[in-house]
Amino acid sequence: MGKLRPKRIVDGFSKAISGTTPDFTESRKEICGKCEFKKETSLGNKCGVCGCFINEKTRVMEEYCPKGKWKDIQTFSGKGVSLQNQSPGYCNLKYSESTNKMNLVYKEPIKMDKPIVLKLLLVNHLGDLVPAPKNDTLEITSIKPSCPCISVTETDKRVIHEGDTAHLYIGHNAAQRGKFNKKVRIQFKNHPTLSINVSGEVV
């Protein structure tokens, strides 16, 4: 079971009571409904891994699947950080356990001189690690693309407290035709560097 975050619990139950269903919720619930870790209780279905109620948890944007099954949000294994894909119409996001990298792939070719910027949400959940670190705040020191053809807009926050989030914008300048496979490295103070592979094609 991860760290209890009262604001998220309130958010999930409030949305469930009001009938608010974010775009990502149905996909998450469908995956949970077929999951071998689902537990049926008199109060509703729960996740057997994290202990959360599925109907409520799937409505909270910052929440993630502890087994990495949800498609809209992926987690860096053992790093206490997740990325949510907020541009699902333009790209797919998938974490690779073997390379320990996040793969961001454009769904369709990008038209020449018409760049598409992808929006991601970085989520700090260091409090879920066992043991949890004494310093559970993320402090970004630099964000470096491997090539000038990749644009990275500074996050709206450099310091991300436990349970908090920051937006990240990544794009390709679409100035040259052909396939591309580049990297973006996010470096932190007192935390391992995170790597994102960005791939696609310009036509």
Answer whether residue 106 shows pLDDT above 70: yes
Q: Using one digit for the tens of pLDDT, what is the confidence trace for 30-69?
A: 999 999 999 999 999 999 999 999 999 999 999 999 999 9
Q: Is the pLDDT of residue 163 over 70?
A: yes
Which CATH number characterizes residue 81's domain? 2.60.40.10
- pLDDT the model gives residue 156: 79
Mean pLDDT along residues 123-135 = 93
90 near 106, Cβ under 8 Å?
Answer: yes
Residues 119 and 145 in one domain: yes
One domain for residues 140 and 44: no
Look at phi and psi of residue 76 and say left if phi exceeds 0, alpha if psi is from -120 to 50, else beta. beta
Rounded mean pLDDT of 123-131? Answer: 93
Which range is least confidently modeled, 22-26, 64-68, 151-155? 151-155
Return the pLDDT at 99: 86
Looking at the DSSP bridge assignments, the partners of residue 95 are 102
Distance between CA atoms of residues 27 and 10, nearest Å: 21
What is the distance between the terminal CA atoms of the chain, rounded to a whole angstrom?
A: 47
Q: Are 188 and 79 in contact (CB under 8 A)?
A: no
- What's the structural domain count of the chain? 2
pLDDT at 1 over 70: no
Please tell me whether residues 7 and 96 are part of one structural domain: no
Determine the structural domain holding residue 53 and report its residue range: 1-66
Are residues 62 and 151 both part of a single domain?
Answer: no
Q: State the chain's mean pLDDT as an integer.
A: 94
More confident residue, 93 or 7: 93
